[in-house]
Amino acid sequence: MEGGVALVLLFLASGLAAGASGNATARILDWSGEIAESLGQLYDSQQGCDFLIDAVGTNNASEPLKLCAHSLILSANSEAQFLLRDGENASTLRLEEDCLPYVEPFIRYLYTRRISITLSSVKCIHKMASSYRAVKLQEYCAQIFSLVIPEDPTFKAQIELYNYAQDSRDPVLEELCLQFLAWNSQAFSESEAWQLLSPEQLQALLARSDVVVQDELSLLRALESWRLLNRLDQHILDEIRFPMIPPEDLFQLQFNLSFYKDFEALFKARVLEALEFYTVTFQALTQHLNLTDAAFIPRIYTSPIWTYHLNKNDYNPYYNYYRSFQTPAHPSFLFKTQQMSWSPGYHATMQSCWNYGLSCTESSLPLVRLTSSGFNDPSIRYENKVLMLCQGSFVTAVQDFKDTIATVTNVNNDSLFPCPDVYSSFIIVVRPIYSPLPLPSP
């Protein structure tokens, strides 16, 4: 018993000594995580609220939304200061009609600092946060645009965001929307939302080389459907890359393109230029044409002529599995008989790399491989791409091949548009481009 008392006295003495030296260990009870939930319940209950909020549609087409809040809670949040003016106990918010349903979640966020944001709500919440200087929420919305953009298979929500980005003069969001539409242009051009593009938006899209479509002719065909509700002018047609359309298809345009007669002079000039590209030697072309102009640069064409569909499940990491496909060396008829042979592969492990004699690192895995053999011409270079399909549907990442390797994007960290699942389906696209020859030595 005496030993036990002595032990307690020793413990107390050490505690007093620690306290005297300022090193006493604090014990903290922390239930702060429940505060947000409690504040949310307080807002929902409306008990003791003393601050009135009227949310009014700008067109007065809907009944005003009347909310009641607690001024003390609002005053504790710097993002809520826009509501509190000169001690008044009421405030009016003026919003577009379609944003009224999101006012209450926005006010509740000012209590809890928590909010659920979807593709249908992100535009309005971002707009409210921007208008009323809820800076943290505004920044968060900007970060999640890329997460929610792929969610609408009809593309209508993406067009709404694109319009909003232009109206709000947000170049980052504008480019984000345009990038997604470019990478998914084949499906987009076949949707009803395609006709919702303004002429300026359509021209901006067609000016890009990273547009993913079956072929250039499909873009020209898509202008027929767009033209049903819009006015087509020469500036838009100037963005079509006629040298990328095969001669037999160029010949048929005069017979089966509905607006050929409206722009006959332009078509004749562009078709002639394209036929020259197909039949004149590279050396002669370079004397009179700038082959680095966009018209002579292929987009990302998914026609079977230039692509290979790869599924990672087809590749065993422990055994060599050889596959190959062929493409023309170049679109020009001068190379019609010349073929390139390509060997694709998918490598997710070091063992798989070693089986193919590749030098890989853990940080570079998984990767897609593409090696070539056959015809070689110094006037032609290949800027090949691999498209990463999210759940076999949208293109959410595009990677260049560096030498023979393209690293598969990390769906969580590296993708511009993160995918909820690991990438398993890929489209390899071969892109032959005329390459300027080095000048002869003097």
Same domain, 426 and 313: yes
Same domain, 265 and 327: no
For residue 400, what are the contacts with CB-CB under 8 A and spacing of at least 6?
Answer: 383, 384, 385, 406
Provide the CATH number for the domain around residue 344: 2.60.210
Which 3 state secondary structure label does DSSP give 390?
strand
Position 311 in a domain: yes
pLDDT over threshold 50, residue 89 = yes
Report CA-CA distances (Å) from 424 to 28, 389, 402: 48, 8, 20
Other C-beta atoms within 10 Å of 397: how many? Answer: 23
Residue with tokens 């590279």: 282
Residue 4: pLDDT band (50, 70, 90) is very low
Q: Last residue of a domain, which of 296, 318, 333?
A: 296
Which residue type sits at 123?
Answer: K
- DSSP state letter for 150: G
The span from the CA of 69 to the CA of 108, in Å, is 9
For residue 23, what are the contacts with CB-CB under 8 A and spacing of at least 6?
Answer: none
pLDDT over threshold 90, residue 403 = no
Residue 7: pLDDT band (50, 70, 90) is very low
Lowest-pLDDT range of 54-58, 83-87, 143-147, 204-208: 83-87
Position 24 in a domain: no
Number of domains, the chain = 3
pLDDT digit string (tens) for 357-386?
Answer: 888 888 888 999 999 998 888 899 999 999
Q: Last residue of a domain, which of 115, 134, 157?
A: 115
pLDDT over threshold 80, residue 320 = no
Which 3 state secondary structure label does DSSP give 144?
helix
Same domain, 412 and 430: yes
Q: Higher confidence at residue 431 or residue 2?
A: 431
Residue 325: pLDDT band (50, 70, 90) is very high
Question: Average of pLDDT values for 237-247?
Answer: 97
Q: Higher confidence at residue 412 or residue 4?
A: 412
Provide the pLDDT for residue 33: 79
The span from the CA of 194 to the CA of 222, in Å, is 9
Same domain, 392 and 355: yes
Same domain, 350 and 404: yes
What are the φ/ψ torsions at residue 168 (nearest 5 degrees)?
-90, 0
Asked if 69 and 47 count as a contact pair (C-beta separation under 8 A), the reply is no
pLDDT over threshold 60, residue 21 = no
Share of the chain above pLDDT 70, in %: 91
Position 145 in a domain: no
Which 3 state secondary structure label does DSSP give 392?
coil
Provide the pLDDT for residue 351: 84
Same domain, 290 and 202: yes
The span from the CA of 227 to the CA of 258, in Å, is 10
Asked if 278 and 333 count as a contact pair (C-beta separation under 8 A), the reply is yes
Percent helix, percent strand, percent coil in the chain, to nearest 5: 45, 15, 40
Same domain, 310 and 423: yes
Of 252, 298, 235, 242, which is closest to residue 273 (Cα–Cα)?
242
Q: Last residue of a domain, which of 60, 89, 115?
A: 115
Relative orientation angle of helices 264-279 and 247-256, to the nearest 10 degrees: 170
Helix (H) or strand (E) run with residue 163 in it: helix 156-167
Same domain, 406 and 338: yes
> Beta strand pairing status for 405-407 and 90-95?
unpaired
The span from the CA of 227 to the CA of 229, in Å, is 5
Residue 176: pLDDT band (50, 70, 90) is very high
Q: What is the 3-state secondary structure (H, E, C) of 263-329?
A: HHHHHHHHHHHHHHHHHCCHHHHHHHCCCCCHHHCCCEECCCCCEEEEEHHHCCCCCCCCCCEEEEC
pTM, rounded to two decimals: 0.81
Same domain, 108 and 193: no
Domain span at 285: 185-296
Same domain, 409 and 383: yes
Provide the pLDDT for residue 262: 95
Position 256 in a domain: yes
The span from the CA of 243 to the CA of 153, in Å, is 32
Provide the CATH number for the domain around residue 72: 3.30.710.10
Question: Average of pLDDT values for 232-251?
Answer: 96
pLDDT over threshold 50, residue 423 = yes
Residue 316: pLDDT band (50, 70, 90) is low
Residue 412: pLDDT band (50, 70, 90) is low
Same domain, 253 and 374: no
The span from the CA of 180 to the CA of 152, in Å, is 12
Position 369 in a domain: yes
Q: Higher confidence at residue 62 or residue 107?
A: 107
pLDDT digit string (tens) for 35-54?
Answer: 889 999 999 999 999 999 99
Question: Average of pLDDT values for 119-143?
Answer: 89
Other C-beta atoms within 10 Å of 227: how many? Answer: 15
Provide the pLDDT for residue 2: 46
Same domain, 284 and 196: yes
Position 292 in a domain: yes
Position 7 in a domain: no
Position 130 in a domain: no
The span from the CA of 440 to the CA of 442, in Å, is 6
List the beta bridge partners of residue 426.
310, 388
Provide the pLDDT for residue 354: 83
